[in-house]
Protein backbone atom coordinates (compact mmCIF):
# COMPACT_ATOMS: atom_id res chain seq x y z
CA UNK A 1 0.00 0.00 0.00
CA UNK A 2 1.08 3.61 -0.48
CA UNK A 3 2.38 5.32 2.69
CA UNK A 4 0.53 8.26 4.15
CA UNK A 5 1.46 11.50 2.39
CA UNK A 6 2.57 14.15 4.84
CA UNK A 7 2.52 17.84 4.00
CA UNK A 8 6.00 19.20 3.47
CA UNK A 9 7.29 22.71 2.86
CA UNK A 10 8.26 23.45 -0.71
CA UNK A 11 11.89 23.97 0.18
CA UNK A 12 12.01 20.33 1.30
CA UNK A 13 11.28 19.21 -2.25
CA UNK A 14 14.95 18.78 -3.10
CA UNK A 15 16.79 15.85 -4.43
CA UNK A 16 18.40 13.45 -1.98
CA UNK A 17 21.05 12.08 -4.30
CA UNK A 18 23.73 14.78 -4.25
CA UNK A 19 26.14 12.46 -6.02
CA UNK A 20 23.85 12.25 -9.04
CA UNK A 21 23.35 16.02 -8.82
CA UNK A 22 27.06 16.76 -8.92
CA UNK A 23 27.54 14.34 -11.77
CA UNK A 24 24.90 16.07 -13.88
CA UNK A 25 26.36 19.47 -13.03
CA UNK A 26 29.91 18.58 -14.01
CA UNK A 27 29.04 16.91 -17.29
CA UNK A 28 26.69 19.61 -18.49
CA UNK A 29 29.36 22.26 -18.60
CA UNK A 30 31.89 19.90 -20.12
CA UNK A 31 29.66 18.89 -23.00
CA UNK A 32 28.90 22.53 -23.80
CA UNK A 33 32.29 22.78 -25.50
CA UNK A 34 31.45 19.95 -27.91
CA UNK A 35 27.72 20.32 -28.42
CA UNK A 36 26.71 23.68 -26.95
CA UNK A 37 24.33 24.59 -29.76
CA UNK A 38 22.27 21.41 -29.47
CA UNK A 39 22.23 20.36 -25.86
CA UNK A 40 22.93 22.92 -23.18
CA UNK A 41 21.23 26.30 -23.76
CA UNK A 42 18.17 25.79 -21.61
CA UNK A 43 19.76 23.32 -19.19
CA UNK A 44 22.57 25.62 -18.09
CA UNK A 45 20.25 28.56 -17.47
CA UNK A 46 17.75 26.49 -15.51
CA UNK A 47 20.23 24.62 -13.33
CA UNK A 48 22.84 27.12 -12.19
CA UNK A 49 22.30 25.95 -8.65
CA UNK A 50 23.80 22.58 -9.63
CA UNK A 51 26.77 23.94 -11.55
CA UNK A 52 29.26 24.72 -8.79
CA UNK A 53 31.58 21.79 -9.58
CA UNK A 54 31.23 21.43 -13.33
CA UNK A 55 34.34 23.47 -14.15
CA UNK A 56 36.69 21.00 -12.49
CA UNK A 57 35.91 18.31 -15.05
CA UNK A 58 35.39 20.49 -18.09
CA UNK A 59 38.91 20.24 -19.45
CA UNK A 60 39.20 16.53 -18.70
CA UNK A 61 35.92 15.69 -20.40
CA UNK A 62 36.72 17.79 -23.45
CA UNK A 63 39.99 15.93 -23.86
CA UNK A 64 38.33 12.55 -23.31
CA UNK A 65 35.64 13.27 -25.90
CA UNK A 66 38.29 14.29 -28.40
CA UNK A 67 40.25 11.05 -27.86
CA UNK A 68 37.14 8.86 -27.86
CA UNK A 69 35.55 10.65 -30.82
CA UNK A 70 36.08 7.79 -33.24
CA UNK A 71 34.55 5.16 -30.98
CA UNK A 72 37.73 4.36 -29.03
CA UNK A 73 37.23 3.37 -25.39
CA UNK A 74 40.85 4.01 -24.38
CA UNK A 75 39.89 7.21 -22.56
CA UNK A 76 36.90 5.74 -20.77
CA UNK A 77 38.53 6.34 -17.37
CA UNK A 78 38.55 10.06 -18.10
CA UNK A 79 34.85 10.21 -18.91
CA UNK A 80 32.41 11.17 -16.13
CA UNK A 81 30.07 8.41 -15.03
CA UNK A 82 26.80 7.89 -16.84
CA UNK A 83 23.70 9.75 -15.68
CA UNK A 84 21.22 7.95 -13.44
CA UNK A 85 17.71 8.81 -12.21
CA UNK A 86 17.44 10.95 -9.12
CA UNK A 87 16.53 9.41 -5.78
CA UNK A 88 12.96 10.63 -5.58
CA UNK A 89 11.71 12.45 -2.46
CA UNK A 90 8.72 11.24 -0.40
CA UNK A 91 5.37 11.88 -2.04
CA UNK A 92 3.72 15.24 -1.48
CA UNK A 93 0.78 14.71 -3.84
CA UNK A 94 -1.43 11.68 -4.28
CA UNK A 95 -0.67 9.96 -7.60
CA UNK A 96 -3.14 10.44 -10.42
CA UNK A 97 -5.23 7.49 -11.55
CA UNK A 98 -5.12 4.14 -9.72
CA UNK A 99 -2.26 2.50 -7.85
CA UNK A 100 -1.97 -1.27 -7.37
CA UNK A 101 0.55 -3.45 -5.58
CA UNK A 102 2.61 -5.43 -8.05
CA UNK A 103 5.74 -6.79 -6.30
CA UNK A 104 9.17 -5.88 -5.01
CA UNK A 105 11.13 -3.01 -6.57
CA UNK A 106 9.36 -2.82 -9.94
CA UNK A 107 11.44 -1.40 -12.79
CA UNK A 108 10.98 -1.99 -16.50
CA UNK A 109 7.48 -2.03 -18.01
CA UNK A 110 5.84 -2.59 -21.40
CA UNK A 111 2.16 -2.64 -22.42
CA UNK A 112 0.87 -5.01 -25.10
CA UNK A 113 -2.26 -3.76 -26.90
CA UNK A 114 -3.22 -7.20 -28.28
CA UNK A 115 -3.41 -9.18 -25.03
CA UNK A 116 -4.09 -6.15 -22.83
CA UNK A 117 -1.27 -7.28 -20.54
CA UNK A 118 1.33 -5.07 -18.90
CA UNK A 119 4.67 -6.75 -18.15
CA UNK A 120 6.56 -5.44 -15.12
CA UNK A 121 10.10 -6.43 -14.08
CA UNK A 122 10.60 -7.27 -10.38
CA UNK A 123 13.56 -8.25 -8.24
CA UNK A 124 14.10 -10.33 -5.07
CA UNK A 125 12.54 -12.55 -6.29
CA UNK A 126 13.50 -11.89 -9.89
CA UNK A 127 10.35 -12.31 -11.95
CA UNK A 128 8.08 -10.80 -14.55
CA UNK A 129 4.59 -9.84 -13.42
CA UNK A 130 1.95 -9.99 -16.15
CA UNK A 131 -0.73 -7.50 -15.12
CA UNK A 132 -4.20 -6.95 -16.56
CA UNK A 133 -3.95 -3.43 -17.97
CA UNK A 134 -7.63 -2.74 -17.33
CA UNK A 135 -8.02 -3.99 -13.75
CA UNK A 136 -4.48 -3.95 -12.37
CA UNK A 137 -4.77 -7.61 -11.34
CA UNK A 138 -1.58 -9.70 -11.55
CA UNK A 139 -2.50 -12.57 -13.88
CA UNK A 140 0.78 -14.46 -13.84
CA UNK A 141 4.30 -14.34 -12.42
CA UNK A 142 7.15 -15.66 -14.57
CA UNK A 143 10.47 -16.52 -12.83
CA UNK A 144 13.47 -14.88 -14.50
CA UNK A 145 17.19 -15.77 -14.50
CA UNK A 146 17.89 -12.25 -13.20
CA UNK A 147 16.26 -8.89 -12.63
CA UNK A 148 15.85 -6.40 -15.50
CA UNK A 149 15.87 -2.61 -15.39
CA UNK A 150 14.17 -2.19 -18.76
CA UNK A 151 11.92 -4.28 -20.97
CA UNK A 152 11.12 -4.36 -24.66
CA UNK A 153 8.26 -5.71 -26.76
CA UNK A 154 9.20 -7.54 -29.95
CA UNK A 155 5.84 -6.72 -31.53
CA UNK A 156 2.09 -6.83 -30.98
CA UNK A 157 1.30 -9.87 -28.80
CA UNK A 158 4.94 -10.11 -27.76
CA UNK A 159 7.20 -11.68 -26.85
CA UNK A 160 8.46 -9.48 -24.03
CA UNK A 161 12.20 -8.85 -24.29
CA UNK A 162 13.91 -9.11 -20.90
CA UNK A 163 17.60 -8.13 -20.73
CA UNK A 164 19.09 -9.66 -17.58
CA UNK A 165 21.93 -7.38 -16.53
CA UNK A 166 23.73 -9.56 -13.99
CA UNK A 167 23.05 -12.74 -15.92
CA UNK A 168 24.44 -11.48 -19.25
CA UNK A 169 21.38 -12.95 -20.94
CA UNK A 170 18.30 -12.02 -22.93
CA UNK A 171 15.01 -13.76 -22.21
CA UNK A 172 11.96 -13.84 -24.47
CA UNK A 173 8.69 -14.28 -22.62
CA UNK A 174 5.63 -15.30 -24.65
CA UNK A 175 2.26 -13.63 -24.10
CA UNK A 176 -0.13 -14.42 -22.60
CA UNK A 177 1.16 -17.80 -21.37
CA UNK A 178 4.58 -16.76 -20.06
CA UNK A 179 6.72 -19.44 -21.75
CA UNK A 180 10.34 -18.32 -21.60
CA UNK A 181 13.52 -18.99 -23.54
CA UNK A 182 16.90 -17.43 -22.82
CA UNK A 183 20.04 -16.82 -24.88
CA UNK A 184 23.43 -15.55 -23.66
CA UNK A 185 24.43 -12.08 -24.85
CA UNK A 186 27.14 -9.57 -23.95
CA UNK A 187 28.08 -8.02 -20.63
CA UNK A 188 25.28 -6.42 -18.59
CA UNK A 189 22.50 -6.03 -21.18
CA UNK A 190 20.39 -2.99 -20.26
CA UNK A 191 17.83 -2.50 -23.05
CA UNK A 192 16.53 -4.41 -26.07
CA UNK A 193 14.50 -3.80 -29.22
CA UNK A 194 13.38 -5.70 -32.32
CA UNK A 195 14.48 -4.37 -35.71
CA UNK A 196 14.88 -6.02 -39.10
CA UNK A 197 13.71 -9.39 -37.80
CA UNK A 198 16.44 -9.44 -35.17
CA UNK A 199 16.68 -8.47 -31.52
CA UNK A 200 19.25 -5.85 -30.58
CA UNK A 201 20.44 -5.87 -26.95
CA UNK A 202 22.59 -3.04 -25.58
CA UNK A 203 25.46 -4.65 -23.61
CA UNK A 204 26.16 -1.74 -21.31
CA UNK A 205 29.36 -3.06 -19.72
CA UNK A 206 30.64 -4.72 -22.86
CA UNK A 207 30.56 -1.69 -25.18
CA UNK A 208 28.78 -3.90 -27.70
CA UNK A 209 25.33 -4.58 -29.05
CA UNK A 210 24.31 -8.23 -29.28
CA UNK A 211 22.23 -8.95 -32.38
CA UNK A 212 20.08 -12.04 -31.81
CA UNK A 213 18.47 -14.01 -34.62
CA UNK A 214 16.91 -17.21 -33.30
CA UNK A 215 19.70 -18.74 -31.22
CA UNK A 216 22.42 -17.03 -33.27
CA UNK A 217 24.15 -14.10 -31.56
CA UNK A 218 26.51 -11.61 -33.20
CA UNK A 219 28.17 -8.73 -31.38
CA UNK A 220 29.10 -5.39 -32.88
CA UNK A 221 31.32 -2.81 -31.22
CA UNK A 222 29.67 0.47 -30.26
CA UNK A 223 30.61 3.54 -28.23
CA UNK A 224 31.24 3.36 -24.50
CA UNK A 225 28.41 2.04 -22.30
CA UNK A 226 25.39 1.62 -24.59
CA UNK A 227 22.30 2.14 -22.45
CA UNK A 228 19.40 2.61 -24.86
CA UNK A 229 18.34 1.22 -28.25
CA UNK A 230 15.41 2.01 -30.54
CA UNK A 231 14.22 0.98 -34.00
CA UNK A 232 13.79 4.12 -36.12
CA UNK A 233 12.83 4.96 -39.71
CA UNK A 234 10.37 2.03 -39.83
CA UNK A 235 12.94 -0.41 -38.51
CA UNK A 236 15.52 0.31 -41.20
CA UNK A 237 17.89 1.83 -38.66
CA UNK A 238 18.75 1.15 -35.02
CA UNK A 239 19.61 4.10 -32.81
CA UNK A 240 22.04 3.37 -29.96
CA UNK A 241 22.66 5.92 -27.22
CA UNK A 242 25.93 5.32 -25.35
CA UNK A 243 25.43 6.88 -21.97
CA UNK A 244 29.03 7.34 -20.85
CA UNK A 245 30.49 8.49 -24.14
CA UNK A 246 27.36 10.62 -24.61
CA UNK A 247 26.81 9.93 -28.30
CA UNK A 248 24.00 8.69 -30.51
CA UNK A 249 24.98 6.15 -33.17
CA UNK A 250 22.90 4.86 -36.06
CA UNK A 251 23.19 1.32 -37.47
CA UNK A 252 21.75 -0.29 -40.58
CA UNK A 253 19.41 -3.05 -39.34
CA UNK A 254 20.19 -5.20 -42.40
CA UNK A 255 23.97 -4.91 -42.78
CA UNK A 256 24.69 -4.10 -39.07
CA UNK A 257 27.05 -1.36 -40.26
CA UNK A 258 27.32 1.95 -38.45
CA UNK A 259 26.10 4.77 -40.67
CA UNK A 260 26.33 7.85 -38.43
CA UNK A 261 27.35 9.22 -35.05
CA UNK A 262 26.70 12.54 -33.28
CA UNK A 263 27.02 14.00 -29.75
CA UNK A 264 23.89 13.51 -27.61
CA UNK A 265 23.70 15.85 -24.67
CA UNK A 266 25.13 16.25 -21.20
CA UNK A 267 24.00 12.87 -19.89
CA UNK A 268 21.67 10.88 -22.16
CA UNK A 269 20.03 7.70 -20.91
CA UNK A 270 17.29 6.43 -23.26
CA UNK A 271 16.03 6.72 -26.82
CA UNK A 272 12.63 6.03 -28.43
CA UNK A 273 11.39 6.41 -32.01
CA UNK A 274 9.24 9.24 -33.35
CA UNK A 275 7.21 9.67 -36.52
CA UNK A 276 9.03 9.26 -39.81
CA UNK A 277 12.73 9.20 -39.06
CA UNK A 278 12.63 11.07 -35.77
CA UNK A 279 14.30 9.83 -32.58
CA UNK A 280 13.86 11.25 -29.07
CA UNK A 281 16.75 11.06 -26.59
CA UNK A 282 16.20 11.73 -22.89
CA UNK A 283 19.07 13.87 -21.57
CA UNK A 284 18.83 13.09 -17.85
CA UNK A 285 21.83 15.16 -16.77
CA UNK A 286 20.89 18.00 -19.09
CA UNK A 287 17.23 18.13 -18.01
CA UNK A 288 16.03 17.95 -21.59
CA UNK A 289 14.55 16.03 -24.50
CA UNK A 290 16.65 15.96 -27.68
CA UNK A 291 14.97 15.55 -31.07
CA UNK A 292 17.06 13.95 -33.85
CA UNK A 293 16.40 13.41 -37.54
CA UNK A 294 17.77 10.01 -38.59
CA UNK A 295 16.90 10.05 -42.29
CA UNK A 296 19.55 11.49 -44.55
CA UNK A 297 22.18 13.13 -42.35
CA UNK A 298 21.86 12.27 -38.65
CA UNK A 299 21.43 15.60 -36.89
CA UNK A 300 19.82 17.21 -33.89
CA UNK A 301 16.76 19.33 -34.63
CA UNK A 302 15.72 20.65 -31.27
CA UNK A 303 16.16 20.56 -27.51
CA UNK A 304 13.10 20.78 -25.26
CA UNK A 305 13.71 21.53 -21.55
CA UNK A 306 12.39 18.96 -19.04
CA UNK A 307 13.38 20.08 -15.56
CA UNK A 308 13.33 17.38 -12.89
CA UNK A 309 15.81 14.64 -13.89
CA UNK A 310 13.87 13.04 -16.79
CA UNK A 311 14.53 9.32 -17.14
CA UNK A 312 11.79 6.88 -18.18
CA UNK A 313 10.25 7.38 -21.62
CA UNK A 314 7.57 5.76 -23.78
CA UNK A 315 6.28 6.70 -27.23
CA UNK A 316 2.66 6.31 -28.38
CA UNK A 317 2.93 7.26 -32.03
CA UNK A 318 -0.60 6.13 -32.84
CA UNK A 319 -1.98 8.91 -30.63
CA UNK A 320 0.92 11.33 -31.08
CA UNK A 321 2.02 11.17 -27.46
CA UNK A 322 5.30 10.95 -25.60
CA UNK A 323 5.51 10.15 -21.89
CA UNK A 324 8.59 11.09 -19.81
CA UNK A 325 9.04 10.56 -16.07
CA UNK A 326 10.64 13.25 -13.90
CA UNK A 327 12.37 11.38 -11.09
CA UNK A 328 13.31 14.47 -9.08
CA UNK A 329 9.66 15.48 -8.80
CA UNK A 330 7.65 12.22 -8.83
CA UNK A 331 5.88 13.35 -12.00
CA UNK A 332 5.24 12.17 -15.53
CA UNK A 333 4.86 14.57 -18.43
CA UNK A 334 2.60 13.96 -21.42
CA UNK A 335 3.91 15.64 -24.57
CA UNK A 336 2.75 15.94 -28.17
CA UNK A 337 5.14 14.24 -30.58
CA UNK A 338 6.59 15.58 -33.83
CA UNK A 339 9.66 17.63 -34.61
CA UNK A 340 8.46 20.27 -32.13
CA UNK A 341 7.36 18.30 -29.05
CA UNK A 342 5.54 20.30 -26.41
CA UNK A 343 3.98 19.75 -23.02
CA UNK A 344 0.32 18.79 -22.80
CA UNK A 345 -0.05 17.75 -19.15
CA UNK A 346 1.93 16.82 -16.05
CA UNK A 347 0.64 14.23 -13.58
CA UNK A 348 1.79 13.30 -10.05
CA UNK A 349 3.17 9.77 -9.91
CA UNK A 350 4.15 7.06 -7.51
CA UNK A 351 7.54 7.40 -5.83
CA UNK A 352 10.67 6.70 -7.89
CA UNK A 353 9.01 6.59 -11.33
CA UNK A 354 11.95 5.16 -13.25
CA UNK A 355 9.98 3.55 -16.07
CA UNK A 356 6.77 4.18 -18.01
CA UNK A 357 4.79 2.38 -20.72
CA UNK A 358 1.68 3.24 -22.73
CA UNK A 359 -1.02 1.15 -24.42
CA UNK A 360 -1.74 2.78 -27.80
CA UNK A 361 -5.22 1.19 -27.98
CA UNK A 362 -6.45 2.84 -24.78
CA UNK A 363 -3.95 5.68 -24.37
CA UNK A 364 -3.47 4.51 -20.77
CA UNK A 365 -0.01 5.02 -19.25
CA UNK A 366 1.63 2.76 -16.66
CA UNK A 367 4.31 4.00 -14.26
CA UNK A 368 6.40 1.83 -11.93
CA UNK A 369 6.90 2.92 -8.33
CA UNK A 370 10.16 1.29 -7.30
CA UNK A 371 10.14 2.36 -3.64
CA UNK A 372 6.65 1.11 -2.70
CA UNK A 373 6.35 -1.88 -5.04
CA UNK A 374 3.42 -0.47 -6.99
CA UNK A 375 2.17 0.17 -10.52
CA UNK A 376 0.25 3.32 -11.44
CA UNK A 377 -2.54 3.08 -14.04
CA UNK A 378 -3.10 6.51 -15.52
CA UNK A 379 -5.88 7.28 -17.97
CA UNK A 380 -5.17 10.80 -19.23
CA UNK A 381 -8.75 11.24 -20.43
CA UNK A 382 -9.98 10.93 -16.85
CA UNK A 383 -7.08 12.56 -15.03
CA UNK A 384 -7.05 15.97 -16.72
Write down the pLDDT at residue 247: 98
Question: Can you give the pLDDT at residue 75?
Answer: 63
pLDDT at 381: 76
Which residues have C-beta within 8 Å of that of residue 72, sequence separation ≥ 6? none
Kindly write down the DSSP assignment for every residue of 12-49, as one continuous string: G---S-HHHHHHHHHHHHHHHHHHHHHHSHHHHHHTGG
What's the pLDDT tens digit per position in 263-282? 999 999 999 999 999 999 99
- pLDDT at res. 32: 42
* pLDDT at residue 288 is higher than 70: yes
Residue 322 has pLDDT above 50, yes or no: yes
Please say whether the beta carbons of 282 and 274 come within 8 A: no
Say how far apart CA 355 and CA 22 lie, in whole Å: 23
331-359 mean pLDDT: 98
Q: Which residues pair with 212 in a beta bridge?
A: 199, 217
Q: How far from the centroid of its chain's Cα atoms is residue 323's Cα?
A: 11
What is 218-264 written as a DSSP string? Answer: EEEE-SSSEEEEEEETTTTEEEEEETTTTEEEEEETTT--EEEEEE-
Q: What's the pLDDT at 13?
A: 35
Domains parsed from the chain with CATH numbers: 98-383 (2.130.10.10)
Average pLDDT, the chain: 86
Give me the pLDDT at residue 24, please: 47
- The stretch 59-79 carries a mean pLDDT of 50
Confidence of residue 56 (pLDDT cuts 50, 70, 90): very low
Identify the H or E element spanning 63: helix 54-67
97-132 per-position pLDDT tens digit: 999 999 999 999 999 999 999 999 999 999 999 999
Alpha-carbon distances of 152 from 111, 195, 202, 218, rounded to whole Å? 9, 12, 12, 19
Alpha-carbon gap, residue 186 to 240, rounded angstroms = 15
- Residue-by-residue DSSP string for 262-313: EE--SSEEEEEE-STTEEEEEETTTTEEEEEE-SSS-EEEEEEE--S-EEEE
Residue 383's pLDDT band (cuts 50, 70, 90): low
pLDDT band per the 50, 70, 90 thresholds, residue 77:
confident
State the pTM of this model: 0.83
**Burial grade of 47 (CB within 10 A; 0-12, 13-18, 19 or more):** buried
Instruction: Give 223-277 pLDDT, tens digit per residue.
Output: 999 999 999 999 999 999 999 999 999 999 999 999 999 999 999 999 999 999 9
Section 2-13 average pLDDT: 41
pLDDT digits 0-9 by tens, 144-187: 999 999 999 999 999 999 999 999 999 999 999 999 999 999 99
pLDDT above 60 (res 306): yes
**Of 248, 158, 260, 145, nearest to 202 (Cα)?**
248
In whole angstroms, give the CA distance from residue 353 to residue 308. 12
Residue among 303, 266, 262 nearest 284 (CA): 266
The pLDDT assigned to 59 comes to 39
Amino acid sequence: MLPAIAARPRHAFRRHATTATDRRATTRGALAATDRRATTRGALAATDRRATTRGALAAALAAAVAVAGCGSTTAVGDLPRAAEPDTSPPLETRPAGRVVEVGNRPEGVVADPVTGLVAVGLRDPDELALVDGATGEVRRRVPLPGAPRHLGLAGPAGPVLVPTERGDALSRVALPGGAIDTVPVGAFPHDAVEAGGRIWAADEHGNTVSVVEGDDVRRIDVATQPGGVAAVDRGRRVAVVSVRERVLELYDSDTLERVARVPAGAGPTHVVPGEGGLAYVVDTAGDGLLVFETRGRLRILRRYPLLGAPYGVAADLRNGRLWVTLTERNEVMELATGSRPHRLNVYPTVRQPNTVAVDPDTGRAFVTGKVDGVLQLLDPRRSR
